[in-house]
Amino acid sequence: MELSRIHYAKPSITDLEVKYASDAAANGWGPNCYDYIYRFRDLLKSYLDVPYVIPTSSCTGALHMALAAIDVGPKDEVIVPDITWIASVSPISYLGATPVFVDVLEDSWCIDPQAIRASITEKTKAIIVVHVYGNLCDMDEIMSIAKEYNIPVIEDAAEALGSLYKGRKAGSIGDMSVFSFHGTKTVTTGEGGALIVQSKELYEKLLVLESHGRDPKISKQFWCEKIGYKYKMSNLDAAIGTAQLERIEELVARKREIFLEYQRILGCRPEISMNPEVAGDINSYWMGTVVFDKSVNFDREALLKDMEQANIDARVFFYPVSMMTPFEDKPQNTVSYSLFSRAINLPSYHDISSAEIRRVCDVILQYLER
């Protein structure tokens, strides 16, 4: 009998999400068209303990606006980790600036603070740091370097909602931060994102940018002060997200349970390392990941083929973005260029069962025994 499919990610949708989405579809129009957007915004602001939140249609759009708000443009450079999804990089190119890819740390897979320092030039306009797979960057060191050079830091916390760095929520530390609420994320709006802003001055600038350049302080209807953007989250998406944020503690706790179950089975193997959690931090473990030691004669495609034969949808670890066609290879980022080929991500959706986790682990353990 064929085994049921184990997906790598899918959302946790309950009657609450259906109820709010149905209400938004039936009633969220005209004067009510922002009701769930405002509810979602306020819930996220409270959860993160931040002063300003702008819900958006995607994390990519949020990052685009963040960079535009600090006037990133041609001839500017933006430092970014080489291990991330391309969405952390594309908005730099949208604005005509140059991404400067720096290496990551072997233990956290997050950006190396000393590589940031070494890459700063007079052209550096911003630093983007990415809490990859829920793991946490060394924010104290990064913010110290940024303050020394007076460079703004944008946290890409797309994968780290619920992670805590020394008691502070991921996404609440940088000058600005972005989140994703894609259908694969711990909290979803279907498609969607958010931009977190610490400065009132930047927030007011962004209110104009995010509304086609219309200044809310000017009463003239359909009057635009500048060219802006259209990255607003829809009320329907926000309705689903509102229900998700009302369940956020449950959703994050379940992600941690799933990871700890994987760790219990696989963590004792010396050939494998998994998502780290250093003392004082809490990892929300968006996506459980295994990295195979360099001593293992590891063939990623062979293991993924084994997974597919077992009807399991595992996924690859992020490629170095500099390796992709639009950019130039940067093999001097030795950790990045080694990590991607030695790692895979594990199915981590909320309703995965213990038996399904065991199935995934068995494929990996059988691979190691060859």
Domain segments of the chain as ranges: 15-246, 248-368
* Tokens coding 90: 């594309």
Q: Beta strand pairing status for 164-165 and 168-169?
A: antiparallel
- Residue 63 has what pLDDT? 98
pTM value? 0.96
- Residue 287's nearest CA partner among 131, 154, 177, 164 is 131
* Cα four-point dihedral sign 159, 162, 165, 170: positive
Backbone phi, then psi, for 81, in 5-degree steps? -70, 150
pLDDT of residue 2: 75
**Looking at domain 15-246, which of 3.40.640.10, 3.30.360.10, 3.30.70.360, 3.30.1390.20 is its CATH number?**
3.40.640.10
248-368 matches 15-246 in CATH topology = no
- Ramachandran class of 311: left when φ > 0, alpha when ψ lies in -120 to 50, beta otherwise: left
pLDDT per residue rounded down to tens, the chain (370 residues): 678 999 999 999 999 999 999 999 999 999 999 999 999 999 999 999 999 999 999 999 999 999 999 999 999 999 999 999 999 999 999 999 999 999 999 999 999 999 999 999 999 999 999 999 999 999 999 999 999 999 999 999 999 999 999 999 999 999 999 999 999 999 999 999 999 999 999 999 999 999 999 999 999 999 999 999 999 999 999 999 999 999 999 999 999 999 999 999 999 999 999 999 999 999 999 999 999 999 999 999 999 999 999 999 999 999 999 999 999 999 999 999 999 999 999 999 999 999 999 999 999 999 999 8
C-alpha–C-alpha distance, residues 139 and 131, integer Å: 10
Amino acid in the structure at residue 62: A
CATH 3.40.1350.10 fits 248-368, yes or no: no
Q: 33 CB contacts (<8 Å, ≥6 apart)?
A: 235
**C-alpha span between 106 and 81 (Å, rounded):** 13
311 close to 294: Cβ distance less than 8 angstroms: no
- Given the structure tokens 């689903």, which residue do they identify? 240
pLDDT reported for residue 1 = 60
- Residue 271: name the closest of 287, 290, 252 by CA: 290
Q: 139: which 2 tokens?
A: 């924010």
Q: Distance between CA 276 and CA 290 in Å, rounded? A: 11
Q: What is the pLDDT of residue 370?
A: 82
Q: Which residues pair with 130 in a beta bridge?
A: 156
